[in-house]
Amino acid sequence: MPHYYFHLRQNDGVFKDTRGGEFDDLEAAWNWALSDVRAIVKEGQLDGPIDQHWLEISDPTGRTVAILPFERALRLQ
């Protein structure tokens, strides 16, 4: 099963995910990220404007394979 990491970015800062998780594929990792971002927003855990936050999904080599802006997560169904 592929392993993915979810790094939280805010402006110039980054909170690196050092554990990550195993998912069937990138789509499953994306769906998990979408749920996680929505929970972060709902629980009011943001520091600063929502448009300054995004989640980067990377593979074990460190290559970014997807980017999820927090604003977009709220618009997606």
Residue ranges of domains in the chain: 3-75
Burial 7-28 (b: 16+ CB within 10 A, else e): bbbeeeeeeebeebeebeeeee
The parts of the chain modelled with pLDDT lower than 50 are none
Q: What is the model's pTM?
A: 0.89
The pLDDT score that the predictor gives to residue 45 is: 87
The pLDDT score that the predictor gives to residue 50 is: 92
The pLDDT score that the predictor gives to residue 77 is: 57
